[in-house]
Amino acid sequence: MKEDYKEIGKSIHRFDAQNKLNGQARFCADIKLPSPALCLKVLRSQHHHAVIEKIDTSTALKIKGVVEVFTAKDIPGKNLMGIINKDQPLLAQDKVRSKSDPVALVAADTEKAARQALDAIRVDYKELPAIFDPEKALQTGAVQIHEKGNLLCKRRVKKGDPDSAFEKSASVVEQTYQTSAIEHNYLEPDAGIGYVDDDGCLTIYASTQNPHYDHKELTTLLAVADDRIRIIQAATGGGFGSKLDLNVQGFIGLALLHLKRPVRYVYTREEAYLATGKRHPFTIKIKSGTDEKGRLLAVKIRAVCNTGAYGSYGMAVASRSAVVGMGPYAVENADIECQAVYTNIPFCGAMRGFGAPQMALAHESQMDLHARDLGMDPWQIRKVNGYKKEAVTATGQPLNQSVGFPACLDAVKPYYDDAVKNWANQSPLPYIKRGVGLGAMWYGIGNTGVQNPSTAKVEIDKTGQITVFTGCADIGQGSTTILAQIAGESLKVNPTDLKMVVADTRFTTNAGATSASRQTYISGNAVKDAAQKLGAVLLTEAANVLKGAKASLQMKNGTVFDPKDPSRAVDFSRLAVRIADKGGSLSWQGYFDPETIPQDPETGQGSPYATYAFACHTALVEVDTLTGQVDVKKVIAAHDVGRAIHPEHVIGQICGGIAMGVGFAVMEEFEPGKTLSMKDYHVPTMADMPRVIPIIIEDPEPTGPFGAKGVGEPALIPTAPAIINAISQALGKRIYHLPANLERVLEASIASGHFNMKEASHG
């Protein structure tokens, strides 16, 4: 039975909606500065792999309008950065490892002068052999990209005895799957501005997903005290993971430190394509076995992901990939390994899903292949194996609460059955083949097996105004609105009456990254904790005023009252004055860190996440067997989100995730050195969007704020495998390499015998 919440489960107006609609939202490229800003530009490497022998900036410095040219020697602190392991320089010092590596930073009065300076800088390189294939990078004798070698990390989950279980299996399927590098393609290219304030503080507005991480990196790079740097998240036009890494912030900070003049750096779309992180390409070799009834007995996976020139989030991607390797299915015998490997392509980092979308292609294809092998329905084999309460994962973690996967499967079944029975065989033209596919996923909320806390502050002033302080970066997902609803429910006030101070390192404490679908669950709990502490103090003081028992009082709309006699009430403002006059605190800190158990480094056994989201998608596709064109007609998407704090936000995340999933499935592919900008890259448009039927499943998480978990990453993950399974059903031929673009689909059409030369010639 659901509790009766007033502010939870309501789709209130987003806090940032009006400013975005009327054009008043301030994105970095648009922020006005008190005096003309210097233009910053970066010279990047001409080689994939080379030693830097000499950098000559003398000619560049003579160009009119050029103020300064910085190189690694101008960085006063430690010239290494990285969210997990510090292996990436702000400016290359001795060596470049990809063509995206920055070598020199120009500050000039105009963009024209800055560009001329880039052309005038002379760099002498000694070229080294480059390596782009991660499996070749692991071979004995391969060129070493970093001193520690080419293996960034290896993560493993081991349970039981898969080899023995394979011998007992009725169905054994062994396949290799591949995915490509993907560009994030957020609407707003990376950008930032900076100035030195009256107190000498280096103040930087950035398009970022983690202002407190940016702050920490800059204090280390520039060797300055914490209070000398302030990071403020500007309105951010999307991130999807790429804006977790430093982009322009380090360059802005370096220029501010030396020049003390306002600066601006806005990436061109071409520079964003060259210099920002990509989704990791994967090669996944998987073997799985089931009994005659379709029950999974064993799985063995060897996955290699290409992390590019630097680590970025590669360790996190490898860790999560190993945990989610066989999807939301119980299996007693598992041996799953993922290696993240350095190569000389531009670095790969976080992108919506952290390896789970890549692994989902493999485990969902395997489920369909087993079903075909056993003569089972694809939905039924998922029902047989799907996680349910009391199941135990491959890492040995019991799933005792909030396991909504069976409900997700049940929710899509009527649509799936109807499509298979009544839609799939009613092709509009002879050369159009229809298919119906399923895709499922599970996703751990938060970081994998490590502490990832959030903090928050809630305070009240003597007028009764309540302010919520959170470091949580809202990059379009609506977290500011969600956190206001959580605080509002905790204090029984209208969320729109709250003042929100967000993502400003001068005023807010660390909420961690906006990533891993963690902010509603983790920062939501931190905000709730702070708000409840304030509420408890207000109730205590009200009990003194009203001469009643604290437990019998209630809060509503800025007052505390006695429900037995509502005329006995006192305003928050009066209570705040009394508390302050007594020397009490009007400001309270909140904290939350999910309870996890670190994984054993050899076996991966442990509890890497406190809670999991679950989902199942059904995709309906039409395949043109003459051209290879895939038209995704409809996606039915059931998601267990724990509790939907703001249902319209959940629906928005699901629809946006499906759009990205369509691109991942059938068109998006970043090829280093070939994909230079959007003219070389295909992303879904409105014309490519299917009809979406979102289904919100609520299986409340006891440790979540009012039962909530998350949906940001999960929204994407099942879409591509559902589409690939639908294409396979339509053609009778499976595609193992994403994207399933025109060429790969046409090749499958020809191989399956569906391609008719006579019809093609007639067309």
Distance of alpha carbon 460 from alpha carbon 467, whole angstroms: 6
Nearest CA to 506 out of 70, 170, 156, 211 is that of: 211
Shared domain check, 308 and 225? no
| Counted domains in the chain | 3
What does the mean pLDDT of the chain come to? 96
Tokens coding 399:
């799933």
**Helix runs in 103-196, H state only:** 111-120, 134-137, 162-167
CATH, residue 101: 3.90.1170.50
Sheet with 38-44, edge to edge strand ranges: 66-70, 102-108, 38-44, 263-266, 191-196, 202-206, 229-233
Distance of alpha carbon 504 from alpha carbon 205, whole angstroms: 9
Has residue 758 got a pLDDT over 80? no
Q: Which residue reads 């799957």 in tokens?
A: 177
Banded pLDDT at 439 (limits 50, 70, 90): very high
Shared domain check, 440 and 481? no
Shared domain check, 459 and 438? no
Mean predicted confidence (pLDDT) in 722-732: 98
CA distances from 651 to 216, 277, 495 (A): 35, 27, 20
Identify the domain containing residue 457 by its residue range.
Answer: 17-23+453-592
Has residue 248 got a pLDDT over 60? yes
Whether 237 maps to a domain, the answer reads yes
According to the model, what pLDDT value does residue 399 have? 98
Shared domain check, 271 and 291? no
Q: Which residue reads 């065989």 in tokens?
A: 425
Nearest CA to 592 out of 480, 486, 704 is that of: 704
CA distances from 204 to 107, 114, 320, 327 (A): 16, 21, 32, 41
Shared domain check, 439 and 298? yes
Residues 508-517 as b/e (b if ≥16 CB within 10 A, e otherwise) read bbbbbbbbbb
Shared domain check, 290 and 252? no
Whether 676 maps to a domain, the answer reads yes
SS3 of residue 119 by DSSP: helix
Whether 476 maps to a domain, the answer reads yes
Amino acid occupying residue 761: S
Residues 467-501 as b/e (b if ≥16 CB within 10 A, e otherwise) read bbbbbbbbbbbbbbbbbbbbbbbbbbbebeebebb
Decide which of 571, 592, 613 is a domain's last residue. 592
According to the model, what pLDDT value does residue 463 have? 97
Nearest CA to 43 out of 379, 275, 258, 226 is that of: 275
Distance of alpha carbon 252 from alpha carbon 106, whole angstroms: 11
The size of the chain, in residues, is 763
The string of pLDDT tens digits covering residues 83-110 is 999 999 999 999 999 999 999 999 999 9
Shared domain check, 235 and 349? no
Q: Are 345 and 309 in contact (CB under 8 A)?
A: yes
Q: Are 749 and 674 in contact (CB under 8 A)?
A: no
Residues 369-407 as b/e (b if ≥16 CB within 10 A, e otherwise) read bbbbebebebbebbbbbbbeeebebbbbbebebbbbbbb
According to the model, what pLDDT value does residue 754 have? 84
Mean predicted confidence (pLDDT) in 611-628: 98
Decide which of 543, 567, 592 is a domain's last residue. 592
| Phi, psi (deg, nearest 5) at residue 490 | -65, -30
Shared domain check, 62 and 87? yes
Has residue 1 got a pLDDT over 80? no
Shared domain check, 558 and 607? no
Has residue 555 got a pLDDT over 60? yes
Whether 145 maps to a domain, the answer reads no
Has residue 172 got a pLDDT over 70? yes
Banded pLDDT at 757 (limits 50, 70, 90): low
Has residue 636 got a pLDDT over 70? yes
According to the model, what pLDDT value does residue 34 have? 82
According to the model, what pLDDT value does residue 3 have? 62
The string of pLDDT tens digits covering residues 506-517 is 999 999 999 999
Tokens coding 48:
């994939």
Helix%, strand%, coil% for the chain, nearest 5:
30, 25, 40
The string of pLDDT tens digits covering residues 337-370 is 999 999 999 999 999 999 999 999 999 999 999 9
Calculate what percentage of the chain has a pLDDT beyond 90: 97
Decide which of 275, 297, 317 is a domain's last residue. 275
The string of pLDDT tens digits covering residues 518-547 is 999 999 999 999 999 999 999 999 999 999
Whether 6 maps to a domain, the answer reads no
Distance of alpha carbon 602 from alpha carbon 555, whole angstroms: 52
What's the 3-state SS for 517-550? Answer: CCHHHHHHHHHHHHHHHHHHHHHHHHHHHHCCCH
State pTM to two decimals: 0.97
Between helix 211-222 and helix 249-259 the angle, nearest 10°, is 40
Distance of alpha carbon 143 from alpha carbon 682, whole angstroms: 33
Rounded to the nearest angstrom, the gap between the alpha carbon of residue 173 and the centroid of all alpha carbons in its chain is 31
Distance of alpha carbon 94 from alpha carbon 102, whole angstroms: 12
CATH, residue 540: 3.30.365.10
Banded pLDDT at 35 (limits 50, 70, 90): confident
Shared domain check, 699 and 585? no
> Which residues contact residue 287 at a Cβ distance below 8 angstroms, ignoring those fewer than 6 apart?
162, 166, 172, 173, 174, 298, 299, 300, 301
Whether 178 maps to a domain, the answer reads no
Shared domain check, 735 and 696? yes
Rounded to the nearest angstrom, the gap between the alpha carbon of residue 643 and the centroid of all alpha carbons in its chain is 20
Shared domain check, 693 and 708? yes
Whether 171 maps to a domain, the answer reads no
Distance of alpha carbon 196 from alpha carbon 208, whole angstroms: 20
Distance of alpha carbon 321 from alpha carbon 299, whole angstroms: 14
Whether 408 maps to a domain, the answer reads yes
- How many Å is the Cα radius of gyration of the chain? 27
Q: Are 478 and 652 in contact (CB under 8 A)?
A: yes
Distance of alpha carbon 478 from alpha carbon 473, whole angstroms: 10
Q: Which residue reads 């430093």 in tokens?
A: 246
Q: For residue 691, what are the β-bridge partners?
A: 634
**Helix runs in 260-377, H state only:** 269-275, 314-323, 356-374
